[in-house]
Structures are given as C-alpha cells and as structure tokens.
Amino acid sequence: MSILAKPTIAPQPRTSDVPKIAFIFAGILLVMVVAQLFTFDTFLTLLLSFNLPISDAMTYFLGAVLVVSEVFALPFLLRMPLSKAFRYFSMGCSWVASLIWIKLTFWVVLTEQAVDTVGFLGTVVGLMPGWWAIFVSVALAILAGWASWGLWPGKRKK
C-alpha cells in the first residue's frame, strides 16, 4: 500500500481535434501567465486600479488565484500523467481562470474604468479594454469547456 497518488495516463480524447484545441488553449494560458508573472508587482497594481468592489487584500488574493489557476490548468491541457484527483483539480483551474477573466473584463468594460491595459498580458503589452476583451475571455471559457468535454478524466457513458 502506498500513500502517494499514482499518476495515470490521460484518457483518450473524444475526437482528434480536442488535443489540438487543448494545446492551443494551453499555449494561450502559457503566454498570458508568463507575461503576468514577468510583471507581477505591476499586475497587482493594475488589478487595484480596476476599482473592484472588494478590499485591496482580496484584490491581491484574486490576482494570485488567477495566476496560480492559469499555471495549474496546464498539466490537464497538456495531457500529462497525473493522479485522477489532480486531473480534476487541473481541469477546474482552467475553468476558474476563464471565469475570473470573464468577471474582470465585464467589470472593466461595463464600469468604464480608466485603465491603460486589460491585463491579459500583464502590464507588458498595453491592451486597451473594450468589448473585444469580453469576447476573448468568453472564448477562453469556450476553449476550457471544449477541452473539458473532450478530455474528461472520468468514465464516459456510451
């Protein structure tokens, strides 16, 4: 008996397109998280400038959760050997990152915050907020849903 979790190989994808979609989504998340971590101190300041209806400490926590969830979503999307529980956790992290971005972009666009960048690429590249940012964050959620559907770690019913 072992107390350590045993990694298992990722289940077969439902279609041949799903690994490509998951790889594209992983690439997008990787570029985003590297840029956010490169300027993490100013990224947190950027999140503060969004004037979210939460305290400064919770804004810092939200920024940390966002970056950590983007990092932990990568093992599921890249179909690495993982324990079953971590595969579910990693899949959930892809959803958490997508939902946080949807909420942030909706907040910034609908409240018309005066910010220089929406934050997808941290503060490395200035991407002006607009409706396009909402569409990008919804597209991230669609990619997360597609990858979750196609790479579902549990047993599938026929």
Q: What is the pLDDT of residues 104-131, one digit of tens each?
A: 999 999 998 889 899 999 999 888 999 9
Beta bridge partners of 8: 82
- Residue in 102, 19, 63, 53 with CA at minimum distance from that of residue 10: 19
Q: What pTM does this model have?
A: 0.91
* CA 79/CA 32 separation, integer angstroms: 19
| pLDDT bracket for residue 1 (50, 70, 90) | low
